[in-house]
Amino acid sequence: MCGIIGYVGHREAAPILFASLQKLEYRGYDSYGFATLHQRKIWIRKNKGKISEAGFEKLPGTIGIGHTRWATHGNVEKTNAHPHVDCEKHVAIVHNGIIENFEILKKRLKKDGHKFRSQTDSEIIAHLIENNIGAGVEEAVRRAMLVLGGRSAVVVISRDFDGIIAARTGSPLIVGVGENEYYIASDIPAFLNRTNKVMYLDDGQMVIIEKNKAPVFKDIKSNDIIKKRIITIDWDAEQIEKGKYKHYMIKEIMEQKETIIRALNQDSRAIKKVANEIDKAFGVFLTGCGTAGKVCLTGEYIFSNIANKHVNYVTSSEFPNYKNFLTKKTLLIAVSQSGETADVLEAVKVAKEKGVKVISITNVKGSTLDRMSDYTFLINAGPEKAVASTKATTAQLAILYLLAYSLAKNIDHGKRLLLETASKINDMLNPRYEEHIKKIAKRLHRKKDIFIIGRGFNYPMALESAIKIQEVSYIHAQGFAGGELKHGPIALIEKNTPCIVLTKGEDDHDIISNAMEVKARGGLVIGVGPKRYGVFDLWIKTPSVGVLSPIVNIIPIQLLAYHLGLFRGCEIDTPRNLAKSVTVK
Ligand code: AGP
């Protein structure tokens, strides 16, 4: 949510900031802006909408900051775009996060005579710094951070300082280390084409990057200096390009030919050790948001069916309500592609306060979730850039299956099944298959509603299917447990209302009965699964993989969502109102 970039070096900052910000656009895209420092003067350009080149090249200087916004406080207006400045333009700041006590702070600042130009909470940071500018800009930033409530990442340039000062109290910030030049960004892809060497800023820390000097990290509260290591990231810049594909989403869907195999590349001893922890724990919770949450819900079925183990899924934003059930014997498994989702991090924080052991499943090494966890399984999917999660979903599922099979003392069998499934996916994802789904998308793209039903393992995937269709095509889509339809939602079925039915190819009688109920009311039944049942008006074949059917069934729905979005002229990779990492609560 909101992308931040900063640069300190020997080259013109504006083109670097511009290119980097484009790479961060998946974090927010309603407006954007840049500020550079040249001859002790701050130069600013901002605009509404997606990043365009308008005016950026006119900014002089070798130090600068940039921001792409996902609005929280204040409309999508040029005045609300970042960077923001104080009354006297001592500083320009970019911010990612939410300042929970902003109303009190703003009132106080107004009383002190500060004049506000925007409706954002972020602008108060510039004025807070201005209040203490007499103490020096570094100290002024530190004092401002001390009074901010909520979660924030802030990057500041000042006409009185030849460099950048950045601070983090919750939202991510990473320093990229180049040759006598430094970057600071909310995500690694921002600078990955220039360096893969990084230094992480932890919560409660700030960094002072002065030109021609090594960065100095400090604790915001104590002001003590902190030593940091340089870490090398093993992603390469090509992985974050679209290559031959038109959109990241289709590239990432197709990458599932390999990503499931890559997800299986785990240390078997770690899988067994964590499976053992799951076994011993008194109360196991799975937590995640959105798509990752649906993966967790599938986890309930996976552990129950394969390992006869009761685990509970709680959506992360509600997890704090369960704190009374947490003890030192509880285990929490947190699932998050980005490892930066605020609700997930909050759930983990609550759990840790109760002494709970935390295992995470994430795609981003060094992410906040990774660093907060007792053990992390990296899904090895490579950067996922499209807002709609695809390859991370199936990779996360693969790890849950591995854990469940290990718990059932059957890990080799589980691995074999997963590898067989991966090879079937490889066969399935061919141009003819995509063409078939495209035809179905063409038929459905003007519908106002699409319903999806599934039972057992496929119930969470019905919910996930709805998320995919909603976010990419903006069609109203809703997923239900097959058995629930007759308890209310069936009232919505009219002649030709599409209903997608997820099946396994075995034990499907109940879900087929539910499909019949839809058909009897005139609904258009689209079957997904290995067998073509008579009730299906249209059919998307998936391989027969038994309990692993969630992995194969969700892929054609991802393709369907993609083509629905294309037919409807939607912004596939950057859907309206959304952002890739949701770093606010
Ligand atoms: C997925 O298509 C969505 N964009 C969204 O629900 C996402 O899964 C959710 O915000 C969680 O993100 P995370 O996996 O990075 O924590």
- Residues 124 and 197 both lie in one domain: yes
Active site residues: 2, 580
Looking at the predicted structure, is the pLDDT value of residue 418 above 90? yes
Nearest-CA neighbor of 159 among 47, 66, 16, 44?
A: 44
- Residues 263 and 393 both lie in one domain: yes
- Residues 415 and 478 both lie in one domain: no
- Residues 283 and 403 both lie in one domain: yes
Q: What is the mean pLDDT of residues 276-287?
A: 97
- Residues 199 and 258 both lie in one domain: no
- Residues 435 and 401 both lie in one domain: no
Q: What is the mean pLDDT of residues 209-223?
A: 97
CB count within 10 Å of CB 105 equals: 20
Looking at the predicted structure, is the pLDDT value of residue 23 above 90? no
Q: How large a percentage of the chain has pLDDT more than 90?
A: 88
Gap between the Cα atoms of 245 and 247, Å rounded: 6
Residue 421, domain member (yes or no):
yes
Helix (H, G, I), strand (E, B) or coil at 548: helix
Residue 469, domain member (yes or no):
yes
Looking at the predicted structure, is the pLDDT value of residue 54 above 70? no
Read off the pLDDT band of 1 (50, 70, 90). low
Ligand 1: centre distance to CA 325 (Å): 26
- The single-letter DSSP state of residue 170 is B
Q: What is the CATH number of the domain that holds 89?
A: 3.60.20.10
How many domains, the chain? 3
Residue 581, domain member (yes or no):
no
Of the candidates 239, 263, 292, which is a domain's last residue?
A: 239
Residue 551, domain member (yes or no):
yes
Looking at the predicted structure, is the pLDDT value of residue 267 above 70? yes
- 549-567 vs 391-407: helix crossing angle, rounded to 10: 170
Ligand 1: centre distance to CA 339 (Å): 10
Of the candidates 221, 239, 257, which is a domain's last residue?
A: 239
For 355-413, write each residue's pLDDT tens digit.
999 999 999 988 999 999 999 999 999 999 999 999 999 999 999 999 999 999 999 99
Taken as a whole, the chain contains a residue count of 585
For 143-152, write each residue's pLDDT tens digit.
999 999 998 9
- Residues 360 and 440 both lie in one domain: no
Read off the pLDDT band of 71 (50, 70, 90). confident
Residue 585, domain member (yes or no):
no
* Least confident range of 88-92, 186-190, 195-199, 209-213: 186-190
Ligand 1, residue 582: give the atom nearest the CA: 10
Rounded mean pLDDT of the chain? 95
Q: Is 290 in the pocket of ligand 1 (CB under 6 A)?
A: yes
pLDDT for 57 equals 73
Q: Is 344 in the pocket of ligand 1 (CB under 6 A)?
A: yes
Q: Is the peptide bond before 498 cis (omega within 30 degrees of 0)?
A: no
pTM: 0.86
- Residues 453 and 319 both lie in one domain: no
Question: Which is it for strands 375-378 and 357-362: parallel, antiparallel or unpaired?
Answer: parallel
The residues facing 31 across adjacent strands are 48, 69
- Residues 476 and 368 both lie in one domain: no
Radius of gyration of the chain (CA): 25
- Residues 17 and 153 both lie in one domain: yes
Residue 584, domain member (yes or no):
no
* Least confident range of 108-112, 211-215, 237-241: 237-241
Return the structure tokens found at 541: 């074949």
* Least confident range of 3-12, 234-243, 345-354, 450-459: 234-243
Helix (H, G, I), strand (E, B) or coil at 167: strand
Q: Domain of 289?
A: 247-429
Gap between the Cα atoms of 66 and 533, Å rounded: 55
Q: What is the CATH number of the domain that holds 487?
A: 3.40.50.10490
- Residues 68 and 214 both lie in one domain: yes
Looking at the predicted structure, is the pLDDT value of residue 109 above 90? yes
Residue 10, domain member (yes or no):
yes
pLDDT for 73 equals 78
Q: Is 467 in the pocket of ligand 1 (CB under 6 A)?
A: yes
For 493-539, write each residue's pLDDT tens digit.
999 999 999 999 999 999 999 999 999 999 999 999 999 999 999 99
What is the residue with the minimal CA distance to atom 6 of ligand 1? 290
Q: What is the mean pLDDT of residues 221-250?
A: 89
- Residues 126 and 260 both lie in one domain: no
Q: What is the mean pLDDT of residues 256-278?
A: 95
Ligand 1: centre distance to CA 26 (Å): 12
* Substitution site in 29, 297, 337, 397 for ligand 1 pocket (most atoms within 8 Å of beta carbon): 337
Gap between the Cα atoms of 317 and 355, Å rounded: 19
Of the candidates 189, 222, 239, which is a domain's last residue?
A: 239
